[in-house]
Amino acid sequence: AQSVAQPEDQVNVAEGNPLTVKCTYSVSGNPYLFWYVQYPNRGLQFLLKYITGDNLVKGSYGFEAEFNKSQTSFHLKKPSALVSDSALYFCAVRASRTDSNYQLIWGAGTKLIIKP
Amino acid sequence: GAVVSQHPSRVICKSGTSVKIECRSLDFQATTMFWYRQFPKQSLMLMATSNEGSKATYEQGVEKDKFLINHASLTLSTLTVTSAHPEDSSFYICSAGRAGRNRNGEQFFGPGTRLTVL
């Protein structure tokens, strides 16, 4: 079965420290992976995606993610956290079924809290 | 580019009434639009997928007669919550996939609509 797991409900990081938000996936075929961020009472904003190519993907707001095929992971990272990075982060993978209209399968979300 | 709008952003209605939410792709054509529902502090729950000019595909457990979806053009999809009940109160989010470029799965999201049913 296809799935996405975000094992941490919440991640707390001090401002200026590096942050990592974890994501692992299970999908048949080549994965198309995404990270989105959601600020309170707002829709989702695209951060970055991995389709093919370099395993390290750079995205918006200084975020990057590393695709690791052997570990089936796509962890989100940032070298130096900002208080404004505090938000809800979702990992998603494109469904493999050809009749799926290329739906996204979503992780449960990780709340990131950056403390001053 | 790739901006999606939703209207209204917030709506309060009485139980038993119907509410229509519009989702528009402003600067691109969207062959496929997705409607999600999100409960507080939870992930997105896909309700249905709509393709322009055809009937929507509903996820298991979503009542198609209660949540009417129309995707009449390549830039507009609407979700109508019929005979709303307080348990329909939620945050509804739409997203759109670009025509001809949806194969990678990338979706562009609207800002969401907060529905409160009294």
Q: pLDDT tens digits for B20-64?
A: 999 999 988 888 899 999 887 778 889 999 888 788 999 989 999
* Type of residue at A30: N
SS3 call for A75: strand
Q: Which residues of B touch A4 (CB under 8 A)?
A: none
Q: What distance in Å separates the CA atoms of residue B52 and residue B43, rounded to the nearest whole number?
A: 26
In terms of Cα–Cα distance, which of A33, A6, A31 is closest to A20? A6
- Tell whether A25 lies on the interface with B, counting CB pairs under 8 A: no
Q: What is the pLDDT of residues A83-113, one digit of tens each?
A: 999 999 999 998 665 555 667 889 999 999 9
Does residue A52 sit in helix, strand or coil? coil
Q: What is the DSSP letter of A51?
A: S
Distance of CA A53 to the CA centre of its chain: 17
Strands B67-73 and A33-38, bridge-based pairing: unpaired
| Residue of A42, A74, A98 to mutate, testing the B interface (most B Cβ within 10 Å of its Cβ) | A42
Closest to A25 (Cα-Cα) out of A111, A107, A109, A112: A107
Chain B within 8 Å of A77 (Cβ-Cβ)? no
Measured CB to CB, residues of chain B less than 8 Å from chain A are 4, 6, 32, 34, 41-44, 46, 49, 51, 57, 91, 93, 95, 97, 102-112, 114
